[in-house]
Structure 1
Amino acid sequence: MSTRDEQITQPVLAPTITFPEEGSNTGPVTLMLGSGIPDALVQVCDSAHTYTLGSGQVSANGRWAFTINGAQPQGLHGIQARQTFDGVTSDWSEVRKYNVRLRPDIDAPVVFEPREGEPADAVPEFSGDVTQAAGFVSIFNLDTGLEIARADVDSDGLWHTQVIQPLAAGQYRTSAVHNIGGKVSDWGRVRTFTVSANGTS
């Protein structure tokens, strides 16, 4: 018979990193996204473990996401992620390498609405601006990877739209990209908001 002292704690596997993609080009401030154990806390560090880029909670869908702290210098970067669940911390993931460009061909879009951390309607409005008055902006639900809204950019570089379908109650983490002729920007800053049970703010 085994005793409680002999029972071995199940190891926690390292989380996966989806974005940034291996070998991709990003802007100095970019999206960190991947999968892990629901409710675990994921931490991302540089591959030398000298500084932390940030951390994010894993959703019920098994997705974690956040925008890095501060801005990264231009050049090649390597990162690793680990997750802590029920007091147990995993090993670090494999190194993910990507290249930071301070002046990307297309800047990431800026989102004005909905505001970070505020309640929103079931059919929230999204608005913002871009540095090039062309193309369109797509809004993605980071927990599902699905596009939930799209807006054409006007002649002043502004854009405005609503979600394609009403959102169910719950918390949402979204990010936006700017598409010009099939060429896509890096991800914008993560925007988090909550739709209440009655679908109104």
Structure 2
Amino acid sequence: MGRQKTKMSYIPNDTTRRRIFLKRKACLLKKASELSLLCDVPACVLVAAPCDHPNPVIWPSALDARTLITRFRDLPTSSSRDKTRALDQEAFLAREIARLKEQLGRVERKNREAEVKAALMRCLQGEVVVGADMVEVGSLAEGKAREVAERVERLNGLVFLREAVAEEVAVAPMTTMNVEEEWMMSGTFSSSYEDLLVLIDQIGS
């Protein structure tokens, strides 16, 4: 048999009403505690007691309830919240518009650079370019010419450095041979050679 649906109306019997009050009050406090704990939100409960209970029921405590009610009272009105929300949305839209404008500018610059490069290539191939800004094409050509000149200059510098190193390597053995020849032609080499022969004779005897 299913549970009978409770009729939502005033309970005239004092004893039954008091019993239902205590039961529902405990359930309400339990649900408030679960809500605050599970959702990590501040909550308080204030229940006026029946006539035979002079003090109202306050959960979790009178101090916590007073603090929470004061915070709720000091919240901005709905008009202030709407105004703040509108300002936030306006600032967000302004930032989005600025970001999109910057992105559009970058895309337009890239497209323009691609058009100018294509026009320059057609000019180099001998075609007649129509509709292009020849000032930009000339500026791009000058820039490319400078890049080529700088690269050629760097390559020339590397070639010069390589040739200089090769010359030093070629000269180094000649210098060594000259030193050896001077040492062999000097008396020091002769005396050292004679001393070596004397030493060999002494060891052999």
Q: TM-score range by the shorter chain?
A: under 0.3
Which one has the bigger helix percentage? 2
After TM superposition, the score normalised by the length of structure 1 is 0.17
Structure with larger Rg: 2
Which one has the bigger strand percentage? 1
Q: Which has the higher contact order (CA 8 A, sep 6+)?
A: 1
